[in-house]
């Protein structure tokens, strides 16, 4: 598959980017600071560390997605490297897929690094309970990474036709609305305006329902069933695949 070399090249480029390390270090410091914050509570220190830790991993994962994804194609076009790659036996679909897979590999490494730091903090705060909590937090981390995969696809999609700044704005807006999708459709129904209700319903079906992957509270309380996990994973992968198809179609129509 010709996209694989491009994926590893994208990974190498991302690893060489110094600002990526700044974001990662800041995220790790946030995880460590949860130890200090947990001491302010007389009970449920492990719960505080889990909430803060998982939230930090999710938020900084989104920041990295916006940083990487919105400059994805712009760098190649700006540096003229796209002109060297596309005339070779590499299709535009391979180019898009390679960039996307490279982003996902970068996110996987960063998520694993933050996950290891998270479990280290959790083991320090609640060493007797960490083994029992591992299953639930592992489920939450899987869904966080799945959400980042979807946002990677969103960033790639917008980067095929928008400037880096606009791509960043659109990606962040999609993230925010994706977590408020149920509230948006409820607002449309309560407004009493049929046109607004149709608009919000359309947004609900077009934009990703990221709350499907935000189950950490449920997971921490009772755990998520295999049906719920598989449903969320299937939805996320299908949505990401659909966006990649649209990205390829748009990129195929561009002239360089």
Report the Cα 203 to chain-centroid distance in Å: 20
CA distances from 137 to 166, 170, 218, 239 (A): 34, 30, 11, 24
Domain that holds residue 72: 3-252
Q: What percent of the chain has pLDDT over 90?
A: 16
pLDDT in the model for residue 214: 82
The model's confidence at residue 222, banded by pLDDT at 50, 70 and 90, is low
pLDDT tens for 120-178 read 877 777 665 555 555 677 888 889 999 999 999 999 999 888 888 888 899 999 998 88
Question: Cα separation of 51 and 136, whole Å?
Answer: 12
Question: Cα separation of 15 and 103, whole Å?
Answer: 11
Number of domains observed in the structure of the chain: 1
């Amino acid at each position: 598959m010709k996209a694989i070399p491009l994926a590893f090249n994208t990974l190498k480029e991302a690893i060489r980017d110094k600002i990526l390390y700044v974001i990662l270090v800041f995220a790790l410091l946030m995880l460590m600071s949860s130890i200090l914050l947990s001491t302010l509570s007389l009970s449920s220190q492990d719960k505080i560390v889990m909430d803060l830790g998982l939230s930090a991993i999710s938020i900084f994962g989104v920041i990295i997605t916006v940083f990487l994804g919105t400059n994805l194609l712009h760098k190649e076009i700006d540096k003229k490297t796209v002109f060297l790659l596309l005339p070779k036996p590499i299709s535009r679909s391979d180019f898009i897929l390679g960039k996307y897979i490279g982003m996902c590999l970068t996110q996987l490494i960063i998520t694993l690094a933050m996950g290891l730091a998270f479990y280290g903090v959790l083991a320090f705060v609640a060493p007797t309970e960490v083994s029992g909590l591992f299953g639930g937090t592992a489920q939450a981390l899987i869904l966080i990474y799945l959400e980042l995969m979807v946002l990677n696809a969103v960033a790639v999609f917008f980067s095929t036709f928008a400037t880096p700044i606009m791509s960043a704005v659109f990606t962040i807006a999609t993230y925010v609305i994706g977590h408020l999708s149920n509230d948006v459709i409820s607002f449309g129904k309560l407004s009493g305006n049929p046109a607004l209700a149709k608009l919000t319903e359309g947004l609900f079906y077009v934009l990703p329902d990221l709350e499907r992957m935000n189950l950490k509270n449920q997971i921490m309380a009772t755990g998520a069933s295999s049906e719920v996990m598989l449903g969320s994973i299937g939805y996320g992968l299908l949505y990401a695949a659909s966006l990649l198809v649209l990205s390829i179609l748009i990129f195929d129509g561009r002239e360089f």
